[in-house]
A and B are shown apart, each in its own frame.
Chain A
Amino acid sequence: MSLLRLRELSVWFDDPARPAVDRVSLDLDAGRMLALVGESGSGKSLTALSILDLLPGGAHRRARAIELDGDNVLDWPESRRRALRGGRIGTIFQEPLTALNPLHRVEKQIGEAIRVHQKLGGAAVRRRCLELLEQVDLPASEDMLARYPHQLSGGQRQRVMIAMALANDPQLLIADEPTTALDVTIQETILELLKRLQRERHLGVLLISHDLGLVGRFAEDVAVMHQGRVVEYGDTDRVLNRPEHDYTRHLLAAEPGGRPRPTATDAPVLLRAEQLEMHFSGRRRGWLGARETVAAVDGVSFDLRRGETLGVVGESGSGKSTLALILLRLIRARGKVVLLDQSLDTLSGRALRPWRKHMQVVFQDPYGSLNPRLTVHQAVEEGLRVHHKSLNADQRAERVRALLAEVGLPADSGDRYPHEFSGGQRQRIAIARALILEPDLLILDEPTSALDRSVQAQVLALLKDLQQRRGLSYLFISHDLKVVRAISHRLLVMRHGKVIEHGDTERVFEAPEQAYTRRLIEAAFNRDGKQAVAQ
C-alpha cells in the first residue's frame, strides 16, 4: 500500500473548465522520493498545497481520493486534517528567510512545532530540539538554539526548516523547491541531508523542483507536469534517459548547452579594469574603535575585448554584483576602469554622462527592473531622450519599434505596461532598453536566473544572436555554471571579493586550478541525471 495516493486531483480558480491542476494521480511509497518537475505555472506547487489543505483563497479542489496510508483524507473532518500539517506531514518551503519568523529564536521555531502536536514540558522540548539539530547536521548547542534567523546562513536556515518539519516524526515530507534560493554547493548538501533522512527514517518525500539535474540525481520517481497535467510519470532513470513525451524532451533539451562562437583573438581591448577595490564599512568595535571593513571587491583586474563575453561566476556574497555596479560607476571604488582608452574614474558626474551610452546593464529580476508606471515604449526610449536630444518623437518611436522587433517582442508591445508581460518577455524589454543606445558593452547581472529553463534558453539564444550581429561585448554574471559555459569565452571565478581563477572558459572547466572552482563545477555538472541516479 502506498503512503500517499492521489486520484484525479483537480484545482481551479474561476472556471472549472480551465483547471490549474488537471486530474493528477500520483503514488508515493514510504522510503522513496517522488519529484514533481515542471516550469513555473505548471501546477506543481498547487498539487502539493492541496494535499496540505493550504490552497490560496479562491482556489477550488476536487479529487476522487487523497489517501494517506490507505485512509481517505477527504472524509476526515477539518480539525483532523489540520492535525496532519506539521504532524504526519512535514513541509519545507523555498525561501527559508520568509518561512521563519524573524523574531523567534531557533529554539522557539522548532519548539513551537513540537508543542502544538505533543504535550511535552520545557526541558523535554529543549532536549528534542537539540536532537533534531543534530539530525540535520547543525551544531547541537545552546548557542545555536539561541540564534535568530538573520544570524544563520541560507543553508543553516534551510536546515532549521527541515528540523521543524521533522519535529513530529512525519511519514511524509513535502519539499517545495527547497534549494532554489541557495548556492549550488549548499544545494548539494541540503539534498544529501534530505536523502539521508529519507533512508534513515523511511520517509516518503515529495520534492517539487524545476531543476532536472538535481531531480535526476536524487529522486527515485519523477512526474513531469505541464499546464496542470502530469504528462510523464515513472522511474527517474527511464523518464530522464528515455523520455516518451515531447514536453519532457523539450525540458531536457532546454538545459543550457552549446558553446560561444569563437572571436578574433586580436580584437581590441574594450574595457580594462585595474585593481578595483571596494570596502563596506561594518560594525564599529566599541564606541571609538575602528570600523571593521568587509571587502566586497578586492583587487579585481581584467581585460575585455570587443565581441567577447567574460563570464563572472561565484556564489552569493562573492562580490559579482558589486563589481557590476563599480564598472557602471553606480558606486565609487578605488582602482581604474578604462573604457575605449578613456579612464572613467577621473570623470565627474556631468563628464561621465556621454560615456554611459557605451556601457549598459541588464539586471536579474525581470519584475523589479522595469518601472511599473511606464509603458514599454517610454521605458525603452528613455535613453534616447538623454543621449539623442535631437531626435523628435516620431524618430524615437521608429527606433524603439525596430528594436522591440529585433529582440522578438510582439509589434504592439510599446503601448503596454510591464505587468502584462511574462518574465522572459520582460527580460527582452530590459535588453531593448539597454540596447537602444547601441552600447559597446552590456553588463548582464544574472539575466537568466529568474527564468524557467526553456525561457532561459531563448534569452541566451537572443543574446548570442545580438552579440554576433552587433559585435557586442558582454560581462556575464551568473551563479549558474552551465549557463556561463554556454555563452562565455573567458571566465572569472570570484570568491570573497577576490578573483581566484581567470582564464579561457574551456580551460577552466577542463582543468580547474583551484579546489573551490572544482567544487563549483562538480556541484553544477555532476548531477546530470542522465549519468547517475543515487541509490
Chain B
Amino acid sequence: MRTEAIWHRQWRAFRRNRRGLWSLYLFLVLFVVSLGAELVANDKPIAVRYQGELYWPVFQVYPETAFGGLFETEANYRDPYVRELIEEDGWMLWPPIRYSYDTINYELTVPAPAPPSAENWLGTDDQGRDVLARLIYGFRLSVLFGLILTVASSAIGIVVGALQGYYGGWLDLAGQRFLEIWSSMPILYLIIVISSFVVPGFWTLLVIMLLFSWMTLVDLVRAEFLRARNLDYVRAAQALGVRTPVILFRHMLPNAMVATLTYLPFVLNASVILLTSLDFIGFGLPPGAPSLGELLGQGKANLHAPWLGLSAFVTLALMLSLLVFVGEAVRDAFDPRKYHADAGERP
C-alpha cells in the first residue's frame, strides 16, 4: 500500500471490470483507426510511383499533368485514363477501401442505393456513395464532435459549479435561478430556428450546443463544492492563508472530480445522440458531410435498401454501448467502497 496514489487503485478497480476494460480497448482501436480514415478509405492512393518518383496523393495535391495527363486540375486517380497513364510506368498503392465519404461510384450497374458487393462492401447510399467509407468518416466526426463538446462543456460546467459552490450566497442563488431559466429553453427547436437562417457547420453547431450543454455538470460540481468547503482540510488551508484559486484547484477540485468523471462517458453519449438526431431530421451538419444521422435518415427513406439503416444502426449501437460499458467501469472505479475493498484485500 505504500506510496500508492489513489489513482493507481482506481485504475486497478477499473481493470477489474473486464467488460469495461475490453470496451475501452475496442473503442480506442476503432477511434484510432477512424482518426486515420484518410488512409483507410479514400479515393486517392496512399502512394504512387511514376517514372521512378514517389508521390503521396493523400497528403499532397498533384495536377493530372504530373502524370502526363491533359488537365491542370487535381488528378482523378479513379479515372481509368489516369490509372492507365500511371500504371504504364509505375504503380499505385490503394487504401483497403477505394472510396472517400463523398466519392460517387459512377460505375454502378444497378440504380443507387446499390446492395453490398465486392466493390462496395456495405453497398452504396441513394447517391451512389460507399456506405462503409461514410460510416468510418461519420464515426470519427461523431466521436470528435462529442469529445470536443464534452470537454468544453465540462470545463465550463466545472468552473461555474465550483464558483457557485465555493462562494455560495448570492452568487449561488443568482446562478441557480439563471440555470433554471436557461435550461428550460427548448434546444432542439432553437437549433432548428437558427439553422433556418444560417447553414450550420461543424463549429457553429458545436458552439450552439455548447450554449446549453454546459449545464449538465453544474449542479453536481456545485453540490460537491458546497460539501467540500466545510471540510476540515479546506478550513485548515484557509487558516494557512492559502489563496482561493489554490484551494479550489488543489484541495477541492481533485476530490470533486470523482463524481464528475463518472458522468463524462454519459455526457459524451448524450452529445453523440444529440448530433445524430439533428442530422436525422436534417438540421445538423451541412449536406454531404459524413454523418450517421443522415445515413439513418436515408435508411428510413429507402426501406427497400435495408443495408443503409442496418449499417448505421449497428455502428451507433456499438459505439454507444461501448461508451456506456466504459462509463460503468469508470463509475465502479471511482466508487470508494470498491477501491477500498480492493485495498483491504492486499496484504
In A290-348, the 8 Å CB interface with B consists of 325, 328, 330
- Please, how many angstroms separate the alpha-carbon atoms of A354 and B240 in the complex? 10
- A361:B236 contact, CB within 8 angstroms: yes
Name A368-383 residues within 8 Å CB distance of B: 368-375, 379, 382-383
| Interface-side segment among A184-192, A197-205, A241-249, A415-423 | A415-423
Q: Contact at A420–B1, with CB atoms within 8 Å?
A: yes
CA distance A353 to B2 in the complex (A): 35
Report the minimal beta-carbon distance from B258 to chain A, rounded to whole angstroms: 10
Known: A371-B255, A420-B1, A420-B2. Contact between A356 and B240, CB under 8 A? yes
- Report if B3 contacts A (CB, 8 A): yes
Q: A399-438 toward B: CB 8 Å interface, digit per residue (1/0)? A: 0000000000000000111001000000000100110010
Nearest B residue to A356, CB-CB = B241
Residue of B nearest to A357 (CB): B241
**A387, CB-defined interface residue at 8 Å:** yes
Which one of A356, A368, A372 contacts B239 once the chains associate, using CB atoms below 8 Å?
A: A356
Q: Are B5 and A369 in contact (CB under 8 A)?
A: no
> Could you tell me if B6 and A382 are in contact, using CB atoms closer than 8 angstroms?
no
Contact residues on A (Cβ < 8 Å of other chain), bracket = 35 or more
Closest 7 CB pairs of A and B: A369-B232, A356-B241, A363-B232, A353-B241, A371-B233, A368-B232, A383-B240
- Whether A433 contacts B242 by the Cβ 8 Å rule is no
A387-B241, A433-B236 known; A368+B1 contact, CB < 8 A: no
- A372 x B241 contact (CB < 8 A): no
A373 to B258, CA, bound (A): 12
Q: Point out the residues of chain B lying under 8 angstroms from A420, CB to CB.
A: 1-2
Tell me which residues from 227 to 241 in chain B have a Cβ below 8 Å from any Cβ of chain A.
231-233, 235-241
B52 → chain A, closest Cβ, in Å? 60
Find residues 38-68 in chain B having any chain A CB closer than 8 Å to their own CB: none
Q: How far is the CA of A325 from the CA of B238 in the complex (A)?
A: 11
- Contact: B3 with A416, CB < 8 Å? yes
- Tell me if B240 and A382 are in contact (CB < 8 A): yes
Are A372 and B6 neighbours in the complex by a CB distance under 8 Å? yes
Q: List 23 A-B contacts (CB under 8 A).
A: A14-B345, A325-B235, A330-B238, A353-B241, A361-B236, A363-B236, A364-B232, A368-B232, A370-B233, A371-B237, A372-B6, A373-B5, A373-B254, A374-B251, A382-B240, A382-B242, A383-B240, A387-B240, A415-B3, A416-B2, A420-B2, A433-B236, A437-B240
**Could you tell me if B1 and A386 are in contact, using CB atoms closer than 8 angstroms?**
no
Q: Are B239 and A382 interface neighbours, CB within 8 A? A: no
A274 close to B (CB within 8 Å): no
A373–B4 Cα gap in the complex (Å)?
10
Write the nearest CB–CB distance from A531 to chain B, whole angstroms.
37
Given the known interface contacts A373-B255, A417-B5, the answer about A386 and B236 at a Cβ–Cβ threshold of 8 Å is no
Seen from chain B, the residues whose Cβ lies within 8 Å of a Cβ on chain A are 1-6, 231-233, 235-243, 250-251, 254-255, 345
Residue of chain A at shortest CB distance from B6: A373
Minimum distance in angstroms from B252 CB to a CB of chain A: 9
Decide if A528 is an interface residue (CB 8 Å cutoff): no
When distances are taken between beta carbons in the complex, the residues of chain A under 8 Å from B233 are 368-371, 379
By a CB distance below 8 angstroms, the chain A residues around B251 are 371, 374
**Are A430 and B240 in touch, CB under 8 angstroms?**
no
Report whether B237 and A382 are in contact in the complex, using a CB–CB cutoff of 8 Å: yes
Residue of A nearest to B345 (CB): A14
Residues on A with C-beta less than 8 A from B239 are: 328, 330, 356, 359-361
Would you call A365 an interface residue if the criterion is a C-beta within 8 Å of the partner chain's C-beta atoms? yes
Q: Report how many A-B pairs have Cβ atoms within 8 Å.
A: 75
Specify which chain B residues have a CB less than 8 angstroms from the CB of A357 in the assembled complex.
240-241
Give, as a whole number of angstroms, the nearest-CB distance from B334 to chain A: 13
Q: Which residues of B contact A361 (CB under 8 A)?
A: 235-236, 239
Contact of A386 with B240 in the complex, beta carbons under 8 Å = yes
Contacts of A14 in B (CB 8 A): 345
Which residues of chain A are within 8 angstroms of B2 by Cβ–Cβ distance? 415-416, 420
Q: Is the CB of A386 within 8 A of B242?
A: yes
A362 — nearest CB in chain B belongs to which residue? Answer: B236
- Seen from chain A, the residues whose Cβ lies within 8 Å of a Cβ on chain B are 14, 325, 328, 330, 352-354, 356-357, 359-361, 363-365, 368-375, 379, 382-383, 386-387, 415-417, 420, 430, 433-434, 437
Residues of B contacting A383 in the complex (Cβ-Cβ under 8 angstroms):
240-241
Specify the chain A residue showing the minimal Cβ separation from B233.
Answer: A371
The smallest beta-carbon distance between B338 and chain A, in angstroms, is 13
Which residues of A lie under 8 Å from residue B235 when comparing CB positions? 325, 328, 330, 361, 363
Q: Give chain B residues whose Cβ lies under 8 Å from the Cβ of A370.
A: 233
Cα distance, A131 to B178, chains bound together (Å): 52
CB proximity of B342 to chain A, nearest CB, Å: 13
- With A and B bound together, what is the CA distance between A28 and B345 in angstroms? 36
Instruction: Report chain B residues within 8 Å CB of A328.
Output: 235, 238-239
User: Contact between A360 and B240 (Cβ–Cβ < 8 Å)?
Assistant: yes
**Could you say which residues of chain A place their CB within 8 Å of the CB of B238?**
328, 330
A352 CB contacts on chain B under 8 angstroms:
241
Closest to B242 in A: A386
- Which residues of chain A have C-beta atoms less than 8 A from B236's C-beta? 361, 363, 369, 430, 433-434
Residues on B with beta carbons closer than 8 Å to the beta carbon of A363: 232, 235-236
Q: Which residue of B lies closest to A434 (CB)?
A: B236
Contacts of A359 in B (CB 8 A): 239
Whether the Cβ atoms of B6 and A368 lie closer than 8 Å is: no
**Residues of chain B within 8 A of A371, CB atoms compared:** 233, 237, 250-251, 255
Residues of B within 8 A of A416 (CB): 2-3
B248 nearest CB across to chain A (Å): 13
Q: Which residues from chain B contact A386 at a C-beta distance below 8 Å?
A: 240-243
Contact B231 A368, beta carbon cutoff 8 Å: yes
Residue of A nearest to B7 (CB): A373
Q: Which residue of A lies closest to B244 (CB)?
A: A349
In the docked arrangement, what's the CA distance between A437 and B241, Å?
Answer: 11
For B347, the closest partner residue in chain A by CB is A14
Q: A330: which B residues are within 8 A, CB to CB?
A: 235, 238-239
Bound complex: CA A382 to CA B233 (Å): 12
Query: Which of B232, B235, B243 lies at the interface centre, i.e. has the most chain A CB atoms within 10 A of its CB?
Result: B232
> B1 to chain A: which residues have CB within 8 Å?
420
In whole angstroms, how far apart are the Cα atoms of A371 and B1 in the complex?
18
Q: Which residues of A contact B3 (CB under 8 A)?
A: 375, 415-417
In the bound complex, residues from chain B placing their C-beta under 8 Å from that of A372 are: 6, 255
| Residues in chain B near residue A375, CB distance under 8 A | 3
Could you tell me the distance in whole angstroms from the C-beta of B264 to the nearest C-beta in chain A? Answer: 19
Measured CA separation A230–B168 after assembly (Å): 52
Cβ-defined contact, A365 with B254, below 8 A: no
Please name all residues of chain A whose beta carbon is closer than 8 Å to the beta carbon of B232 when the two chains form the complex: 363-365, 368-369
Q: How far is the CB of B339 from chain A (nearest CB, A)?
A: 11
Q: Chain B residues near A353 (CB, 8 Å)?
A: 241
**Chain A residues with Cβ under 8 A from B255's Cβ?**
371-373
Bound CA span A90–B232, Å? 36
Q: Could you say which residues of chain B place their CB within 8 Å of the CB of A434?
A: 236
B340 and chain A: residue at smallest CB distance: A419
Taken together as a complex, chains A and B put the C-alpha atoms of A146 and B15 apart, in Å, by: 49
**Are B241 and A417 in touch, CB under 8 angstroms?**
no
- Report the minimal beta-carbon distance from A417 to chain B, rounded to whole angstroms: 7
Apart from A371-B233, A437-B240, what are 11 other A-B pairs with CB-CB below 8 Å?
Answer: A356-B240, A360-B240, A368-B231, A369-B232, A371-B251, A373-B5, A382-B242, A387-B240, A415-B2, A415-B3, A417-B4
- B346 nearest CB across to chain A (Å): 10
Contacts of B4 in A (CB 8 A): 417
Contacts of A387 in B (CB 8 A): 240-241
* CA A416 to CA B236, docked complex, whole Å: 20
* A residues near B6, Cβ cutoff 8 Å: 372-373, 417
